[in-house]
Structure 1
Amino acid sequence: MTRLLHLTVAFLFIADHTAFATPCLFESQGEGRVAAVVDARSVRLDDGREIRLTGIEPTATTKQALASLLTGRGVTLRSADDTPDRYGRQGAFIFTGEDDTSVQAKLLAKGDAIVSAEVTDKDCAAALMASEAEARHQKMGSWTDPSAIKNAESADDILAGIGRFMVVEGKVLSVRQAGAMTYLNFGRNWTRGFAVIISRRVSATFEGAGIPLKSLENRRVRVRGWVEGNAGPRIELRLLGQVELLGANEPTGVGP
Protein backbone atom coordinates (compact mmCIF):
# COMPACT_ATOMS: atom_id res chain seq x y z
CA MET A 1 0.00 0.00 0.00
CA THR A 2 2.83 2.41 0.86
CA ARG A 3 4.54 1.70 -2.44
CA LEU A 4 1.34 2.29 -4.41
CA LEU A 5 0.65 5.57 -2.66
CA HIS A 6 4.21 6.74 -3.19
CA LEU A 7 4.11 6.04 -6.89
CA THR A 8 0.70 7.62 -7.25
CA VAL A 9 1.47 10.84 -5.44
CA ALA A 10 4.97 11.26 -6.77
CA PHE A 11 4.40 11.37 -10.48
CA LEU A 12 1.66 10.17 -12.75
CA PHE A 13 -1.15 9.16 -10.46
CA ILE A 14 -1.10 5.79 -12.22
CA ALA A 15 -4.40 4.02 -11.72
CA ASP A 16 -6.44 0.99 -12.77
CA HIS A 17 -8.46 1.15 -15.97
CA THR A 18 -11.58 1.32 -13.81
CA ALA A 19 -10.48 4.50 -12.07
CA PHE A 20 -11.75 6.71 -14.90
CA ALA A 21 -15.00 6.02 -16.72
CA THR A 22 -14.14 7.98 -19.85
CA PRO A 23 -10.46 9.02 -19.98
CA CYS A 24 -9.18 11.17 -22.83
CA LEU A 25 -12.71 12.13 -23.93
CA PHE A 26 -11.81 15.71 -24.75
CA GLU A 27 -13.91 18.06 -26.85
CA SER A 28 -14.96 16.60 -30.20
CA GLN A 29 -12.94 18.02 -33.09
CA GLY A 30 -14.98 16.47 -35.86
CA GLU A 31 -15.40 13.17 -37.61
CA GLY A 32 -14.16 11.52 -40.78
CA ARG A 33 -13.20 8.30 -42.48
CA VAL A 34 -9.62 7.03 -42.57
CA ALA A 35 -8.42 6.88 -46.17
CA ALA A 36 -4.81 5.91 -45.47
CA VAL A 37 -2.22 5.33 -42.77
CA VAL A 38 0.52 7.86 -43.55
CA ASP A 39 3.12 6.63 -41.07
CA ALA A 40 3.36 4.95 -37.68
CA ARG A 41 1.61 7.85 -35.94
CA SER A 42 -0.41 9.66 -38.60
CA VAL A 43 -3.47 8.91 -40.71
CA ARG A 44 -5.15 10.79 -43.55
CA LEU A 45 -8.91 11.24 -43.62
CA ASP A 46 -11.01 11.21 -46.77
CA ASP A 47 -11.48 14.98 -46.48
CA GLY A 48 -7.70 15.46 -46.74
CA ARG A 49 -6.93 16.18 -43.09
CA GLU A 50 -3.83 14.55 -41.67
CA ILE A 51 -4.21 13.44 -38.05
CA ARG A 52 -1.31 12.81 -35.69
CA LEU A 53 -2.13 10.45 -32.82
CA THR A 54 -1.54 12.31 -29.56
CA GLY A 55 0.09 10.67 -26.54
CA ILE A 56 2.13 7.85 -28.08
CA GLU A 57 5.48 7.08 -29.64
CA PRO A 58 5.54 4.31 -32.25
CA THR A 59 7.24 0.92 -32.16
CA ALA A 60 8.11 -1.41 -35.04
CA THR A 61 4.54 -2.76 -35.10
CA THR A 62 2.56 0.47 -34.73
CA LYS A 63 1.93 1.19 -38.41
CA GLN A 64 0.65 -2.29 -39.15
CA ALA A 65 -1.57 -2.22 -36.05
CA LEU A 66 -2.93 1.20 -37.05
CA ALA A 67 -3.78 -0.04 -40.52
CA SER A 68 -5.65 -2.99 -39.04
CA LEU A 69 -7.60 -0.80 -36.62
CA LEU A 70 -8.39 2.20 -38.79
CA THR A 71 -8.16 1.75 -42.56
CA GLY A 72 -11.57 2.55 -44.02
CA ARG A 73 -13.12 3.15 -40.60
CA GLY A 74 -15.22 6.10 -39.54
CA VAL A 75 -13.60 7.94 -36.63
CA THR A 76 -14.25 10.69 -34.12
CA LEU A 77 -11.43 13.06 -33.17
CA ARG A 78 -11.08 14.43 -29.65
CA SER A 79 -8.58 16.92 -28.27
CA ALA A 80 -8.35 20.05 -26.15
CA ASP A 81 -7.05 22.01 -29.15
CA ASP A 82 -7.38 21.44 -32.90
CA THR A 83 -4.56 23.79 -33.92
CA PRO A 84 -2.39 22.03 -36.55
CA ASP A 85 1.32 21.52 -35.89
CA ARG A 86 4.02 23.04 -38.09
CA TYR A 87 3.56 20.18 -40.56
CA GLY A 88 -0.16 20.81 -40.87
CA ARG A 89 -1.17 17.74 -38.84
CA GLN A 90 -4.04 17.92 -36.38
CA GLY A 91 -3.22 16.22 -33.08
CA ALA A 92 -6.04 14.17 -31.58
CA PHE A 93 -7.20 11.09 -29.77
CA ILE A 94 -9.01 8.83 -32.21
CA PHE A 95 -12.15 6.84 -31.40
CA THR A 96 -14.05 4.40 -33.59
CA GLY A 97 -17.80 3.86 -33.55
CA GLU A 98 -19.39 4.10 -30.12
CA ASP A 99 -16.26 2.83 -28.39
CA ASP A 100 -15.05 5.14 -25.60
CA THR A 101 -11.57 3.58 -25.57
CA SER A 102 -9.16 5.52 -27.73
CA VAL A 103 -7.15 3.89 -30.47
CA GLN A 104 -4.05 5.06 -28.59
CA ALA A 105 -5.07 3.08 -25.50
CA LYS A 106 -5.70 0.00 -27.65
CA LEU A 107 -2.25 0.24 -29.22
CA LEU A 108 -0.63 0.65 -25.80
CA ALA A 109 -2.54 -2.29 -24.32
CA LYS A 110 -1.20 -4.58 -27.05
CA GLY A 111 2.38 -3.31 -26.75
CA ASP A 112 2.15 -1.70 -30.18
CA ALA A 113 3.10 1.79 -28.91
CA ILE A 114 4.85 3.58 -26.03
CA VAL A 115 3.47 6.44 -23.94
CA SER A 116 5.06 9.72 -25.01
CA ALA A 117 4.28 11.58 -21.75
CA GLU A 118 3.15 14.65 -23.71
CA VAL A 119 -0.40 14.50 -22.31
CA THR A 120 -0.74 16.81 -19.31
CA ASP A 121 -4.32 15.93 -18.36
CA LYS A 122 -3.79 13.71 -15.30
CA ASP A 123 -6.72 11.37 -15.83
CA CYS A 124 -5.89 10.77 -19.47
CA ALA A 125 -2.15 10.38 -18.78
CA ALA A 126 -2.86 7.88 -16.01
CA ALA A 127 -5.11 5.81 -18.26
CA LEU A 128 -2.49 5.70 -21.02
CA MET A 129 0.23 4.69 -18.58
CA ALA A 130 -2.03 1.99 -17.13
CA SER A 131 -2.56 0.55 -20.62
CA GLU A 132 1.18 0.48 -21.25
CA ALA A 133 1.88 -1.03 -17.84
CA GLU A 134 -0.55 -3.88 -18.50
CA ALA A 135 1.23 -4.70 -21.77
CA ARG A 136 4.59 -4.65 -19.94
CA HIS A 137 3.27 -7.02 -17.28
CA GLN A 138 1.97 -9.38 -19.95
CA LYS A 139 5.10 -8.95 -22.12
CA MET A 140 3.04 -8.11 -25.17
CA GLY A 141 4.19 -6.58 -28.44
CA SER A 142 7.40 -4.59 -28.13
CA TRP A 143 7.73 -5.59 -24.46
CA THR A 144 8.64 -9.15 -25.44
CA ASP A 145 12.06 -7.73 -26.34
CA PRO A 146 14.30 -7.49 -23.22
CA SER A 147 16.07 -4.50 -24.78
CA ALA A 148 12.83 -2.48 -25.02
CA ILE A 149 13.81 -0.91 -21.70
CA LYS A 150 17.43 0.16 -21.55
CA ASN A 151 19.64 -0.29 -18.51
CA ALA A 152 20.90 3.12 -17.33
CA GLU A 153 24.27 1.55 -16.56
CA SER A 154 24.76 0.61 -20.23
CA ALA A 155 25.61 4.07 -21.51
CA ASP A 156 26.98 2.86 -24.86
CA ASP A 157 23.80 0.91 -25.55
CA ILE A 158 21.72 4.03 -24.93
CA LEU A 159 24.05 6.26 -26.93
CA ALA A 160 23.68 3.92 -29.91
CA GLY A 161 20.03 5.03 -30.02
CA ILE A 162 20.78 8.74 -30.24
CA GLY A 163 17.90 10.59 -31.87
CA ARG A 164 15.41 7.92 -30.83
CA PHE A 165 12.73 7.87 -28.15
CA MET A 166 13.78 5.45 -25.40
CA VAL A 167 12.67 4.10 -22.05
CA VAL A 168 15.51 3.75 -19.53
CA GLU A 169 15.59 2.33 -16.00
CA GLY A 170 18.22 2.72 -13.33
CA LYS A 171 19.32 4.15 -10.02
CA VAL A 172 20.07 7.86 -9.67
CA LEU A 173 23.55 7.95 -8.15
CA SER A 174 23.75 11.71 -7.73
CA VAL A 175 21.86 14.93 -8.35
CA ARG A 176 24.07 17.87 -9.36
CA GLN A 177 23.41 21.42 -10.49
CA ALA A 178 25.53 23.18 -13.09
CA GLY A 179 24.41 26.66 -14.03
CA ALA A 180 20.74 26.62 -15.01
CA MET A 181 20.63 22.84 -15.40
CA THR A 182 20.20 20.00 -12.91
CA TYR A 183 21.68 16.60 -13.74
CA LEU A 184 20.43 13.24 -12.51
CA ASN A 185 23.53 11.09 -12.93
CA PHE A 186 23.16 7.33 -13.37
CA GLY A 187 26.88 6.66 -13.83
CA ARG A 188 29.92 7.48 -11.73
CA ASN A 189 31.62 9.02 -14.76
CA TRP A 190 29.53 12.16 -15.17
CA THR A 191 30.75 12.97 -18.64
CA ARG A 192 30.26 9.53 -20.20
CA GLY A 193 27.53 7.97 -18.11
CA PHE A 194 23.82 8.27 -18.79
CA ALA A 195 22.20 11.37 -17.28
CA VAL A 196 18.87 13.15 -17.23
CA ILE A 197 19.00 16.92 -17.60
CA ILE A 198 16.39 19.30 -16.23
CA SER A 199 16.18 23.04 -16.83
CA ARG A 200 15.56 25.50 -14.02
CA ARG A 201 12.01 26.13 -15.28
CA VAL A 202 11.15 22.41 -15.25
CA SER A 203 12.89 21.98 -11.89
CA ALA A 204 10.46 24.54 -10.50
CA THR A 205 7.59 22.40 -11.81
CA PHE A 206 8.92 19.41 -9.88
CA GLU A 207 9.33 21.52 -6.75
CA GLY A 208 5.80 22.85 -7.16
CA ALA A 209 4.52 19.27 -7.33
CA GLY A 210 6.24 18.53 -4.02
CA ILE A 211 9.09 16.56 -5.61
CA PRO A 212 12.49 18.08 -4.74
CA LEU A 213 14.94 16.78 -7.32
CA LYS A 214 17.47 16.02 -4.61
CA SER A 215 14.99 13.50 -3.21
CA LEU A 216 15.55 11.33 -6.29
CA GLU A 217 19.12 10.59 -5.27
CA ASN A 218 19.62 6.84 -4.68
CA ARG A 219 16.15 6.10 -6.05
CA ARG A 220 15.33 3.72 -8.89
CA VAL A 221 13.41 5.41 -11.67
CA ARG A 222 12.11 4.83 -15.17
CA VAL A 223 12.58 7.72 -17.59
CA ARG A 224 11.45 8.20 -21.17
CA GLY A 225 12.37 10.71 -23.84
CA TRP A 226 14.55 11.49 -26.83
CA VAL A 227 18.20 10.47 -26.48
CA GLU A 228 20.78 13.15 -27.24
CA GLY A 229 24.40 13.80 -26.35
CA ASN A 230 27.92 13.22 -27.60
CA ALA A 231 30.32 11.79 -25.02
CA GLY A 232 27.50 10.52 -22.83
CA PRO A 233 23.80 9.91 -23.54
CA ARG A 234 21.26 12.38 -22.19
CA ILE A 235 17.49 12.65 -21.95
CA GLU A 236 16.06 16.08 -21.20
CA LEU A 237 13.03 16.18 -18.96
CA ARG A 238 10.34 18.64 -19.98
CA LEU A 239 7.35 17.07 -18.24
CA LEU A 240 6.70 15.36 -14.91
CA GLY A 241 5.25 12.39 -16.74
CA GLN A 242 8.62 11.44 -18.20
CA VAL A 243 9.69 9.96 -14.86
CA GLU A 244 8.28 7.15 -12.73
CA LEU A 245 9.55 6.09 -9.34
CA LEU A 246 10.17 2.35 -9.01
CA GLY A 247 10.05 0.21 -5.90
CA ALA A 248 13.42 -0.79 -4.45
CA ASN A 249 12.81 -4.50 -5.12
CA GLU A 250 10.73 -4.16 -8.25
CA PRO A 251 11.83 -6.39 -11.16
CA THR A 252 13.40 -4.51 -14.04
CA GLY A 253 11.05 -3.74 -16.90
CA VAL A 254 7.79 -4.39 -15.05
CA GLY A 255 6.64 -1.49 -12.93
CA PRO A 256 3.15 -0.36 -12.03
Structure 2
Amino acid sequence: MAATLLIASHTAFAAPCQFDSQGEGRVAAVVDARSLRLDDGREVRLIGIEPTASTKQALASLLAGRDITLRGSDDTPDRYGRQGALVLIGESDVSVQAMLLAQGDAMVSAEITDKDCAAALMASEAAARRQKKGSWADPSAIKNAESPDDILAEIGRFVVVEGKVLSVRQAGAMTYLNFGRNWTRGFAATISKRTLPAFENAGIVLKSLENKRILVRGWVEGNTGPRIDIRLVGQVELLGANEPTGVRP
Protein backbone atom coordinates (compact mmCIF):
# COMPACT_ATOMS: atom_id res chain seq x y z
CA MET A 1 0.00 0.00 0.00
CA ALA A 2 2.82 2.40 0.86
CA ALA A 3 4.37 1.88 -2.56
CA THR A 4 0.97 2.42 -4.21
CA LEU A 5 0.41 5.68 -2.35
CA LEU A 6 3.89 6.88 -3.22
CA ILE A 7 3.32 6.09 -6.88
CA ALA A 8 0.02 7.93 -6.85
CA SER A 9 1.52 11.01 -5.22
CA HIS A 10 4.25 11.33 -7.83
CA THR A 11 2.46 10.83 -11.13
CA ALA A 12 3.28 14.46 -11.93
CA PHE A 13 6.94 13.47 -12.11
CA ALA A 14 6.38 10.55 -14.48
CA ALA A 15 5.58 12.10 -17.85
CA PRO A 16 8.96 13.79 -18.50
CA CYS A 17 10.86 10.50 -18.15
CA GLN A 18 9.04 8.35 -20.71
CA PHE A 19 12.04 6.94 -22.55
CA ASP A 20 11.90 3.97 -24.92
CA SER A 21 11.20 0.56 -23.44
CA GLN A 22 14.27 -1.63 -22.96
CA GLY A 23 12.42 -4.76 -21.97
CA GLU A 24 10.88 -6.35 -18.92
CA GLY A 25 11.90 -8.84 -16.28
CA ARG A 26 11.52 -10.07 -12.73
CA VAL A 27 13.94 -9.03 -10.00
CA ALA A 28 15.87 -12.02 -8.67
CA ALA A 29 18.26 -10.09 -6.43
CA VAL A 30 19.34 -6.62 -5.37
CA VAL A 31 23.09 -6.82 -6.00
CA ASP A 32 24.09 -3.51 -4.45
CA ALA A 33 22.75 -0.02 -3.80
CA ARG A 34 21.90 0.58 -7.47
CA SER A 35 22.27 -2.75 -9.26
CA LEU A 36 19.73 -5.52 -9.80
CA ARG A 37 19.92 -9.03 -11.20
CA LEU A 38 16.92 -10.27 -13.14
CA ASP A 39 15.77 -13.88 -13.28
CA ASP A 40 17.03 -14.16 -16.87
CA GLY A 41 20.56 -13.27 -15.74
CA ARG A 42 20.64 -9.65 -16.91
CA GLU A 43 22.09 -7.06 -14.56
CA VAL A 44 20.59 -3.58 -14.42
CA ARG A 45 22.08 -0.34 -13.09
CA LEU A 46 19.66 2.32 -11.93
CA ILE A 47 20.64 5.47 -13.80
CA GLY A 48 20.12 9.00 -12.51
CA ILE A 49 20.88 8.42 -8.84
CA GLU A 50 23.73 8.07 -6.40
CA PRO A 51 23.08 5.84 -3.39
CA THR A 52 22.94 6.73 0.29
CA ALA A 53 23.32 4.42 3.27
CA SER A 54 19.65 3.44 3.03
CA THR A 55 19.36 2.87 -0.72
CA LYS A 56 20.01 -0.87 -0.85
CA GLN A 57 17.48 -1.67 1.87
CA ALA A 58 14.91 0.59 0.22
CA LEU A 59 15.49 -1.11 -3.13
CA ALA A 60 15.05 -4.55 -1.60
CA SER A 61 11.75 -3.46 -0.01
CA LEU A 62 10.45 -2.06 -3.28
CA LEU A 63 11.72 -4.59 -5.80
CA ALA A 64 12.33 -8.04 -4.33
CA GLY A 65 10.55 -10.52 -6.60
CA ARG A 66 8.72 -7.79 -8.50
CA ASP A 67 8.07 -7.58 -12.24
CA ILE A 68 9.69 -4.47 -13.69
CA THR A 69 9.90 -2.52 -16.92
CA LEU A 70 13.12 -0.89 -18.07
CA ARG A 71 13.23 2.45 -19.87
CA GLY A 72 16.13 4.47 -21.20
CA SER A 73 17.74 6.18 -24.16
CA ASP A 74 20.67 3.75 -24.49
CA ASP A 75 20.75 0.07 -23.55
CA THR A 76 24.47 -0.39 -24.21
CA PRO A 77 25.95 -2.31 -21.23
CA ASP A 78 28.54 -0.53 -19.09
CA ARG A 79 32.02 -1.94 -18.50
CA TYR A 80 30.58 -4.26 -15.85
CA GLY A 81 27.96 -5.64 -18.23
CA ARG A 82 25.05 -3.81 -16.59
CA GLN A 83 22.21 -2.31 -18.58
CA GLY A 84 21.56 1.27 -17.46
CA ALA A 85 17.88 2.16 -17.18
CA LEU A 86 15.04 3.80 -15.34
CA VAL A 87 13.18 1.05 -13.51
CA LEU A 88 9.38 0.95 -13.24
CA ILE A 89 7.36 -1.51 -11.17
CA GLY A 90 4.72 -3.42 -13.09
CA GLU A 91 2.41 -1.08 -14.98
CA SER A 92 3.48 2.02 -13.03
CA ASP A 93 4.61 5.08 -14.96
CA VAL A 94 6.72 6.37 -12.05
CA SER A 95 10.34 5.27 -11.87
CA VAL A 96 11.84 3.61 -8.83
CA GLN A 97 14.49 6.33 -9.01
CA ALA A 98 11.85 9.03 -8.45
CA MET A 99 10.41 7.03 -5.56
CA LEU A 100 13.79 6.64 -3.87
CA LEU A 101 14.52 10.35 -4.30
CA ALA A 102 11.13 11.31 -2.88
CA GLN A 103 11.79 9.14 0.19
CA GLY A 104 15.24 10.64 0.73
CA ASP A 105 16.85 7.27 0.00
CA ALA A 106 19.01 8.48 -2.92
CA MET A 107 20.62 11.57 -4.44
CA VAL A 108 20.36 12.86 -8.00
CA SER A 109 23.52 12.00 -9.92
CA ALA A 110 22.91 14.56 -12.73
CA GLU A 111 23.86 11.99 -15.41
CA ILE A 112 20.46 12.18 -17.15
CA THR A 113 20.80 15.00 -19.66
CA ASP A 114 17.18 15.10 -20.85
CA LYS A 115 16.17 18.48 -19.43
CA ASP A 116 12.61 17.67 -18.41
CA CYS A 117 13.42 14.29 -16.89
CA ALA A 118 16.39 15.71 -14.99
CA ALA A 119 14.20 18.51 -13.62
CA ALA A 120 11.55 16.01 -12.50
CA LEU A 121 14.08 13.87 -10.63
CA MET A 122 15.60 16.97 -9.03
CA ALA A 123 12.13 18.08 -7.92
CA SER A 124 11.67 14.74 -6.14
CA GLU A 125 14.98 15.15 -4.33
CA ALA A 126 14.37 18.81 -3.50
CA ALA A 127 11.04 17.99 -1.86
CA ALA A 128 12.73 15.32 0.30
CA ARG A 129 15.48 17.79 1.25
CA ARG A 130 13.00 20.43 2.34
CA GLN A 131 11.10 17.90 4.44
CA LYS A 132 14.31 16.37 5.87
CA LYS A 133 13.26 12.90 4.74
CA GLY A 134 15.50 9.87 4.85
CA SER A 135 19.19 10.68 4.58
CA TRP A 136 18.44 14.43 4.51
CA ALA A 137 17.48 14.26 8.20
CA ASP A 138 21.20 13.95 8.94
CA PRO A 139 22.67 17.44 9.48
CA SER A 140 25.85 16.37 7.70
CA ALA A 141 24.04 15.17 4.56
CA ILE A 142 24.71 18.51 2.88
CA LYS A 143 28.26 19.76 3.33
CA ASN A 144 28.93 23.38 4.20
CA ALA A 145 31.22 25.08 1.68
CA GLU A 146 32.60 27.18 4.54
CA SER A 147 34.03 24.02 6.14
CA PRO A 148 36.52 22.80 3.51
CA ASP A 149 38.17 20.30 5.86
CA ASP A 150 34.87 18.45 6.24
CA ILE A 151 34.55 18.26 2.46
CA LEU A 152 38.18 17.21 2.01
CA ALA A 153 37.52 14.29 4.34
CA GLU A 154 35.08 12.97 1.71
CA ILE A 155 37.64 12.54 -1.09
CA GLY A 156 36.50 9.85 -3.51
CA ARG A 157 32.86 10.13 -2.46
CA PHE A 158 29.82 11.70 -4.09
CA VAL A 159 28.59 14.61 -1.98
CA VAL A 160 26.28 17.63 -2.09
CA VAL A 161 27.82 20.94 -1.00
CA GLU A 162 25.94 24.14 -0.25
CA GLY A 163 27.44 27.60 -0.15
CA LYS A 164 27.73 31.10 -1.53
CA VAL A 165 29.91 31.66 -4.58
CA LEU A 166 32.34 34.42 -3.62
CA SER A 167 34.04 34.71 -7.00
CA VAL A 168 34.14 33.23 -10.49
CA ARG A 169 37.65 33.17 -11.95
CA GLN A 170 39.20 31.75 -15.09
CA ALA A 171 42.71 30.32 -15.16
CA GLY A 172 43.81 28.83 -18.45
CA ALA A 173 41.19 26.37 -19.67
CA MET A 174 39.51 26.11 -16.28
CA THR A 175 36.82 28.25 -14.63
CA TYR A 176 36.67 28.23 -10.84
CA LEU A 177 33.60 28.84 -8.71
CA ASN A 178 35.31 29.86 -5.47
CA PHE A 179 33.47 29.47 -2.18
CA GLY A 180 36.38 30.63 -0.02
CA ARG A 181 38.67 33.64 -0.06
CA ASN A 182 41.74 31.42 0.22
CA TRP A 183 41.76 29.93 -3.28
CA THR A 184 44.22 27.17 -2.47
CA ARG A 185 42.52 25.94 0.71
CA GLY A 186 38.86 26.79 0.22
CA PHE A 187 36.27 24.71 -1.58
CA ALA A 188 35.87 25.33 -5.32
CA ALA A 189 33.93 23.84 -8.21
CA THR A 190 35.90 23.57 -11.45
CA ILE A 191 34.47 23.76 -14.96
CA SER A 192 36.64 22.96 -17.96
CA LYS A 193 36.48 24.90 -21.22
CA ARG A 194 34.89 21.95 -23.03
CA THR A 195 31.94 22.04 -20.59
CA LEU A 196 31.21 25.76 -21.02
CA PRO A 197 28.99 25.34 -24.13
CA ALA A 198 26.57 23.21 -22.10
CA PHE A 199 26.10 26.05 -19.62
CA GLU A 200 25.73 28.56 -22.44
CA ASN A 201 23.09 26.39 -24.12
CA ALA A 202 21.24 26.23 -20.80
CA GLY A 203 21.30 30.03 -20.59
CA ILE A 204 23.58 30.07 -17.55
CA VAL A 205 26.24 32.77 -17.39
CA LEU A 206 28.79 31.53 -14.87
CA LYS A 207 29.79 35.04 -13.82
CA SER A 208 26.19 35.64 -12.75
CA LEU A 209 26.61 33.01 -10.01
CA GLU A 210 28.80 35.35 -7.96
CA ASN A 211 27.18 36.08 -4.58
CA LYS A 212 24.51 33.44 -5.27
CA ARG A 213 23.78 30.49 -2.98
CA ILE A 214 24.01 27.21 -4.86
CA LEU A 215 24.24 23.46 -4.40
CA VAL A 216 27.06 21.61 -6.10
CA ARG A 217 27.12 17.82 -6.36
CA GLY A 218 29.82 15.45 -7.50
CA TRP A 219 32.90 13.47 -6.55
CA VAL A 220 35.30 15.19 -4.16
CA GLU A 221 38.93 15.45 -5.20
CA GLY A 222 41.89 17.66 -4.39
CA ASN A 223 45.34 17.61 -2.83
CA THR A 224 44.99 20.92 -0.96
CA GLY A 225 41.58 22.52 -1.07
CA PRO A 226 38.62 20.27 -1.91
CA ARG A 227 37.33 20.36 -5.49
CA ILE A 228 34.36 19.04 -7.42
CA ASP A 229 34.73 18.85 -11.19
CA ILE A 230 31.55 20.01 -12.93
CA ARG A 231 30.97 18.11 -16.16
CA LEU A 232 27.18 18.38 -16.38
CA VAL A 233 24.90 21.38 -15.95
CA GLY A 234 22.74 19.40 -13.53
CA GLN A 235 25.55 19.32 -10.98
CA VAL A 236 24.85 22.98 -10.18
CA GLU A 237 21.56 23.98 -8.56
CA LEU A 238 20.70 27.62 -7.88
CA LEU A 239 18.85 28.01 -4.59
CA GLY A 240 16.01 30.48 -4.22
CA ALA A 241 16.46 33.45 -1.91
CA ASN A 242 13.72 32.17 0.40
CA GLU A 243 14.70 28.51 0.34
CA PRO A 244 15.83 27.29 3.76
CA THR A 245 19.45 26.36 4.14
CA GLY A 246 20.27 22.67 4.12
CA VAL A 247 23.25 23.15 6.42
CA ARG A 248 22.47 23.15 10.10
CA PRO A 249 24.70 25.08 12.50
Aligning the two structures, in what range does the TM-score lie when normalised by the shorter sequence?
A: over 0.9
Letter in 2 for 1:54: I
Contact 2:11 / 2:94 at 8 angstroms: preserved in 1?
no
Within the candidate set 126, 129, 150, 1:157 is matched to: 150
Query: C-alpha deviations, 1:76-133, integer Å up to 9, x for none?
Result: 1000110001111100000111111110011011000001011111111111111111
Question: Are 2:83 and 1:90 equivalent residues in the alignment?
Answer: yes
Contact 2:11 / 2:93 at 8 angstroms: preserved in 1?
no
Question: Are 2:105 and 1:112 equivalent residues in the alignment?
Answer: yes
Listed as ranges, the gaps of 5+ residues in structure 1 are 1-15
Question: Are 2:231 and 1:231 equivalent residues in the alignment?
Answer: no
Contact 1:111 / 1:142 at 8 angstroms: preserved in 2?
yes
Contact 2:187 / 2:225 at 8 angstroms: preserved in 1?
yes
Deviation at 1:222, TM superposition (A): 0.7
Deviation at 1:208, TM superposition (A): 2.9
Question: Are 2:130 and 1:137 equivalent residues in the alignment?
Answer: yes
- 1:37-52 residue pairs with structure 2 within 5 A? 37-52=30-45
Greater length-normalized contact order (CA 8 Å, ≥ 6 residues apart): 1
Contact 2:166 / 2:178 at 8 angstroms: preserved in 1?
yes
Within the candidate set 56, 59, 73, 1:63 is matched to: 56
- 1:163-178 residue pairs with structure 2 within 5 A? 163-178=156-171
Question: In structure 2, do the counterparts of structure 1 residues 48 and 21 end up closer, same or farther at CA, with 3 Å as the change threshold?
Answer: closer
Aligned to 1:80: 73
Deviation at 1:19, TM superposition (A): 5.6
SS in structure 1 of the partner of residue 122 of structure 2: helix
| CA distance, structure 1, for counterparts of residue 212 and residue 123 of structure 2 | 22
Contact 1:181 / 1:198 at 8 angstroms: preserved in 2?
yes
Deviation at 1:207, TM superposition (A): 2.2
Listed as ranges, the gaps of 5+ residues in structure 2 are 1-8
Contact 2:152 / 2:222 at 8 angstroms: preserved in 1?
yes
| CA distance, structure 1, for counterparts of residue 201 and residue 14 of structure 2 | 28
- 1:175-190 residue pairs with structure 2 within 5 A? 175-190=168-183
Aligned to 2:5: none
- After TM superposition, which residue ranges in structure 1, 4 or more long, deviate above 3 angstroms? 16-21
SS in structure 1 of the partner of residue 16 of structure 2: coil
Letter in 2 for 1:178: A
Question: Are 2:200 and 1:207 equivalent residues in the alignment?
Answer: yes
| CA distance, structure 1, for counterparts of residue 99 and residue 62 of structure 2 | 9
| CA distance, structure 2, for counterparts of residue 172 and residue 19 of structure 1 | 33
| CA distance, structure 1, for counterparts of residue 13 and residue 143 of structure 2 | 31
Deviation at 1:32, TM superposition (A): 0.6
| CA distance, structure 1, for counterparts of residue 124 and residue 239 of structure 2 | 17
Within the candidate set 213, 216, 228, 1:220 is matched to: 213
Deviation at 1:203, TM superposition (A): 1.6
Question: In structure 2, do the counterparts of structure 1 residues 19 and 103 end up closer, same or farther at CA, with 3 Å as the change threshold?
Answer: closer
Tell me how large the CA RMSD over aligned residues is.
Answer: 1.5
Aligned to 2:26: 33
Letter in 1 for 2:52: T
